[in-house]
Amino acid sequence: MRSDKYIMFRNFLYNELGITKEDIRDWTKEAVYEVANKYIKNSFSYGKFEVWLERVLIEKYSGTFKEDIMKGVSKELVKHLEINLKKEGGKKNGWSMEK
């Protein structure tokens, strides 16, 4: 049920100002578009998408996220180096695969 104040306001907008529902919808779409563009420009103001994405992921998954990624990369790098050293005979630049 609509209140009398709402009906009076709606009639004033339509009759006195000539504003229709379609006008309000169009203005709302324009305003949302402008705000979204400003938000995107501010979000990517760091210059690179990668920097923004890293910041968002770190904020979302706490401070340990970056540490977890670094540990995972470190483990894979060690595996890769071990494989390469084994292929090259076990020694390279003073490194030995012997335990």
Residue 73 lies in a domain: yes
What is the extent of the structural domain holding 80?
Answer: 61-99
pTM attached to this predicted model: 0.38
Q: Is residue 76 situated within a structural domain?
A: yes
Task: Examine the domain organization and report whether 43 and 74 are in the same domain.
Answer: no
What pLDDT score does 27 carry? 93
Q: Which two tokens stand for residue 79?
A: 């595996």
**Residue 6 is assigned to a structural domain of this protein:** no
Contact predicate 90/96, CB 8 Å: yes
As for how many domains the chain has, the answer is 2
Residues of the chain with pLDDT under 50: 99
Residue carrying structure tokens 């690179």: 48
Could you tell me if residue 4 is inside a domain? no
Residue 8 inside a domain? The answer is: no
> What pLDDT does 90 receive?
54
Alpha-carbon distance of 61 to 1, in angstroms, equals: 46
Q: Which residues contact 20 (CB under 8 A, 6 or more apart)?
A: 14
Beta bridge partners of 95: 92
